[in-house]
Amino acid sequence: MSSLKHKHGLATRMALLATVSLLSFLTANLSRAEAPSTPGAAATTQPWMNTTLDPDTRARLVLAQMTQSEKLSLLHGYGGPISPKRKGTTANGGAGFVPGIPRLGLPDLNMADSTVGVTRGAATSRYSTLMPAAIAEAASFDPQIAHEYGALIGRELRAQGYNTSLSGGVNLMREPRNGRTFEYRGEDPVLAGVMAGNFLVGLQNEHVIGDIKHFAVNDQETGRQVNNPVMSHRVLRESDLMAFEIGVKIGNPGMVMCSYNLVNGDYACENDYLLNQVLKRDWQFKGFVLSDWGGAHSTAKAMNSGLDQEQPDDKYFGERLAAAVAAGEVPQSRIDDAALRIVRTLFASGVVDNPPVTMVVDIDGGLEISQMAAENGMVLLKNNGELPIAATAKSILLVGSHADVGVLTGGGSGQVDPPGGSAVKAETSVSDQGAAGVFSRGPIWYPSSPLKALKALRPDANIIYDSGNDPQKSAELAKTADLVIVFANKPAGEAVDLPDLSLPGNQDGLIKAIATANKHTVVVLETGGPITMPWLDLVGGVIQAWYPGARGGEAMARLMTGKVNFSAKLPISFPRSIADLPNPVLPGSTLKTQGLVDETGAPVMDSLGRQRVGPPPFDITYPEGANVGYRWYELKKIKPIFGFGFGLSYTSYGYEGLSVSADTVHFTVKNTGAFEGIETAQVYAQRPGDVDGSTRRLVGWTRIPLKTGEKRTVDVKIDPMYISTFDEKANAWVLKPGKYTFFVGRAANDTPLSGSISVLEP
């Protein structure tokens, strides 16, 4: 094979985007037929319906006509999906619902969990496309893919009657055992913020209110309702909050969801520093803040600290809020501000002028985009020449992880149920051991069979499947195969952190047995985050497939056969062991064993329904400070299995000709291998006099498509904030004087080019 053909090349992508644009155009025009879109009779009687006015003006006009009870009605939800409060309303069965105000032309807020697709679609007999895990989107390092990912979810929300998305996770991977790692976008604040921001742009362009969450430092699920991360404002701003700041600036979301946990002693949903001082004052956020479900803890403190809407009910922001206003505990101006923010978001998002129009989801179009995202998000971690699968490989054995019928999905609110339910009806594989407790109903497999997909691309080969239940039997079968592909998995989901970084069950033993029997063994990992690999030296190849979505099997087959080249890079580091983590013992992990809290950190009730006396909120100290992930490993001189930004290809790339100017890094990349491909060239910077230690930090990147032998010179613009230090006293980003060194290359720990520039005293 001398070259690789990318199915989703420029022409195909442009055609796909043209189709998407046409669908958006038709949807928008159908919507306009149901609501006034130009000044007319309605605009005369309701001037806020004049679409030539800006959202701020329209919101102020309608607020002036609202009664106090109408304002208060917008500040809380109406129960969960099956709440009796929703009976007789136009609630759509989603996670959240806020009735509109028909006399003023304000629509309901129908909210759906939609991290990787519309979660409750199957529950309401509606199809939803399952996208690859959000961490796979981040692994693409491609803002355009993030945009298309968000746009697809936006279209499918509207098609199902929703106008509000509960998605946009951007919490950093400080804790790789976090059960929600797959919902987030890695360990680096710049990458996470840029990808989340572009996701939001794509989503909100479809006239859907977007959300960024969980604000802030919700970096583990253990004790998530009682843990209290403690860190300085500078560390916050240069790490976790930096990701949110970038995401908010790029994506301009209509909502920010505050998290369950505390931050520096105050619950995030009543944290004046987070909500008032940073989000609304420093970042000039004009949208509204809603609580995570059950994340409100007070009335006056929460409202005065910046929470605008309680979800899913009215425990604190119903009658108690009305009483607090009457008592002078909450000023009327704060009620007006919260209502104004919500109403402004309705206008700014377009949900007033372009309400959802229920229609049949474009299934084929969604599957194409899901497959494209999967192909660009799977990472090739090791390859001793086993891939792409050689034409001479006529006997291929697939083992484990139900690869005969489907691919694994993530759990919790990031779960999208497949049509007809899980492709695996009972957990019988060795790889399912250890999954109990992660999902109450067991892990879910989406019906996208790697076995069927590979057979379709290699009809000339004898391809068989073995469950892996009997490692000895699997090893015997492996001895006669030209190639063995072992599929391994680690289920994960919301509310429960993982006990370790090992593959559950006896999967490590299965892989070792097979690789010992046949050195031509490739391992495909379906996990939401990093794992340890005691068998790494024995195998010939490793693919990180994440939770790969509705066309995961097809994407795997195309990558393994060379129809598409690998281009993704790791958005997280893979540590060698838990001992290498900043916190080897998971903070709060002993609380559950004491029987005082459940997996979510909620107090446990006794047999009479009385709350047991639980511990006070427990502190979490992060030794790495702002040096999250790869920067911790560099600072401590710890070598991970695979570092941040790492990812192999079927070709190779050379770097040369670095030059650095005031705001631009200029260099050349050449495809020095035998296949065409896409290289993600990464730029890192080292700041002078760094108080956290002089570590490299990602400050930019570019994806470069290159044919065999092709050379391209590129410029990467550097945002000054990415190399600045946050000055707590000045409450501002400051570019300190001194020498700034820039590194360019394939990964954080593989940068063949370097150059410096000096910043003088102002």
Could you give the percent of the chain with pLDDT greater than 70?
Answer: 88
Q: Which residue has the higher pLDDT, 595 or 555?
A: 555
Report the distance separating Cα 687 and Cα 238, nearest Å.
Answer: 13
Q: Would the pLDDT of 172 be above 50? A: yes
Mean pLDDT throughout 120-144? 87
Cα dihedral 182→183→189→194 (10° resolution): 120
pLDDT digits (tens, 9 = 90+) for 322-381: 999 999 999 999 999 999 999 999 999 999 999 999 898 899 999 999 999 999 999 999
User: Of 258, 141, 174, 246, whose CA–CA distance to 211 is shortest?
Assistant: 258
Q: How confident is the model at residue 607 (pLDDT cuts 50, 70, 90)?
A: very low
**What's residue 251's pLDDT?**
98
Q: Would the pLDDT of 228 be above 90? A: yes
- The overall average pLDDT reported for the chain is 90
Q: How confident is the model at residue 21 (pLDDT cuts 50, 70, 90)?
A: very low
Q: Would the pLDDT of 273 be above 60? A: yes
Report the distance separating Cα 71 and Cα 84, nearest Å.
Answer: 22
**What's residue 408's pLDDT?**
97
DSSP letters along 171-195, please?
---S-TT-TTGGGS--S-HHHHHHH
Report the distance separating Cα 208 and Cα 222, nearest Å.
Answer: 32
Report the distance separating Cα 243 and Cα 631, nearest Å.
Answer: 16
Q: How confident is the model at residue 31 (pLDDT cuts 50, 70, 90)?
A: very low
Q: Would the pLDDT of 32 be above 50? A: no
Mean pLDDT throughout 187-210? 98
Q: Which residue has the higher pLDDT, 611 or 545?
A: 545
Q: Would the pLDDT of 125 be above 80? A: no
**What's residue 41's pLDDT?**
52
Q: How many CB atoms lie within 10 A of CB 469?
A: 17
Q: How many CB atoms lie within 10 A of CB 92?
A: 22
Q: Would the pLDDT of 431 be above 60? A: no
Could you give the percent of the chain with pLDDT greater than 90?
Answer: 82
**What's residue 590's pLDDT?**
80
Mean pLDDT throughout 199-225? 97
Sorted by sequence, the CB contacts under 8 Å of residue 33 that are 6+ apart come out as none
**What's residue 617's pLDDT?**
81
User: Of 152, 36, 711, whose CA–CA distance to 416 is shortest?
Assistant: 152
Q: How confident is the model at residue 558 (pLDDT cuts 50, 70, 90)?
A: very high
Which domains can be identified in the chain, with CATH numbers?
10-349 (3.20.20.300), 372-560 (3.40.50.1700), 630-759 (2.60.40.10)
Cα dihedral 56→148→546→565 (10° resolution): -150
Mean pLDDT throughout 163-186? 98
214: β partners: none
Q: Which residue has the higher pLDDT, 314 or 2?
A: 314
